[in-house]
Amino acid sequence: MANRRLWQTLGVAGGVAGAAGAAVGVGVAARKRSQIATDRRRLASEMSHGIPDSLPSGRECSVTADDGVRLAAEEIEPSGGRTPTLTVVLVHGFALDRRTWQFQRRSLPELGEPAVRVVLYDQRSHGRSERAAQESCTLEQLGKDLDSVLRTLAPAGPLVLVGHSMGGMTLMALAEQQPELFRERVAGVGLISTSAGEMGSAGLPGTLLSRHNPLTRGVGLLARVQPSLVEGVRKVASNLIWGITRRYAYGNQSVDPALVDLVDTMISANAVDALTDFVDTLGTHDRIAALPGLASAEVLVAAGTADQVIPYSHSERIAAELPTATLVTLPGVGHLPMLEEHEVIDEALTGLIQRAAKRACPKGLRKPRRRA
């Protein structure tokens, strides 16, 4: 997230630049939209949709955060009615929601050994979770939200926590707040396409979504005062935003358009001003010092070398701080490897979970209880 393209990408794809895009020449924008629409139809005709046709049914529920915000969540038990060995909690990134884990929510409950129970939830102001006050949209609060999810949906037994992008930062915030939880219950940690900090090292003050950029504040204010105007611009620029999403989310520009549609749908479901509420906390994130708190767990670090949102070097830095971590490098892959190369990520997560289960056994941790 220290790269200036992060803020450009998330802002544009999230609709911020879409609002600013009203000032773009109409003729140029129309031609670009037409080109993207044609490309989109061509790819759709050439490919079979890669998103799973059927997904395991989960129990939808809600968790109340410590400040009263309702978080939408879901639990998926192991296939075949098996008793779970551990609980895997999947935490999505900025501007997305729990649909990020479409492939993993299908594959993980099907694991033979260990039997895995999966918990997913939407971060505050994302997906189906309740819109939160601007002042509460901080990584510190996201760490507390994750703690609320664990206390409510996984109060006992060993844990494997997996976070993508801002979700990985959420895990680091929780580790900073509750190091004893990681020593006592967290047997595995997965950090996918994320950063531990050094956020000011790449000229953030001059970037589109920097907290110092008046455009960010202006668009956020406009979205609050005239939400219909901003959302209208988003709709008009939908093909442009789709093309930008494909460019920055994926390394392979011939990726199945259904996967781009999925990301585009997730981003579009979030209000523009809800996304700008997180700018300050992302811009000041620095939790390098919290990384040693993860060392008591098995750690997986995975990222694509073509990630234009959070450069691969950030994952290298995390792995360097955790010498026993397993670093999975995905050549040519973008910011969403769990979608773009889901089979590789599934295999890496399976290895992490298996190592975590072995680590948890000597601790004598009780298995998670099946919820009625």
* Residue 161: strand pairing partners: 89, 189
d(CA 92, CA 267): 12
Is 59-201+280-361 a CATH 3.30.1370.60 domain? no
The answer to whether residue 34 scores a pLDDT higher than 80 is no
Lowest mean pLDDT among 85-94, 190-199, 354-363: 354-363
pLDDT for the residue 272: 76
The answer to whether residue 85 scores a pLDDT higher than 70 is yes
pLDDT for the residue 208: 41
Contact 337, 304 (CB under 8 A): yes
The closest of 358, 344, 296, 354 to 322, measured between CA atoms, is 296
Which run of H or E residues covers position 186? Answer: strand 186-192
Q: How confident is the model at residue 267 (pLDDT cuts 50, 70, 90)?
A: confident
Indicate the pTM of the whole model.
0.82
- Taking only the tens place, the pLDDT of each residue in 172-184 is 999 999 999 999 9
Q: Residue ranges of the domains in the chain?
A: 4-48+202-273, 59-201+280-361
pLDDT for the residue 366: 53
DSSP-derived letter for residue 303 is E
pLDDT for the residue 275: 78
pLDDT for the residue 370: 55
Return the CA Rg of the chain: 20
Query: How many CB atoms sit inside 10 A of residue 270's CB?
Result: 20
The answer to whether residue 187 scores a pLDDT higher than 60 is yes
pLDDT for the residue 77: 96
Average pLDDT over residues 71-97: 96
* Residue 214: strand pairing partners: none
Higher pLDDT, 276 or 85: 85
- Taking only the tens place, the pLDDT of each residue in 106-134 is 999 999 999 999 999 999 999 999 999 99
d(CA 150, CA 117): 13
The shares of helix, strand and coil residues in the chain, as percent rounded to the nearest 5, are 55, 15, 35
The DSSP code sequence of 248-266 is HH-S-TT--HHHHHHHHHH
pLDDT for the residue 3: 43
Higher pLDDT, 75 or 200: 75
Contact 308, 248 (CB under 8 A): yes
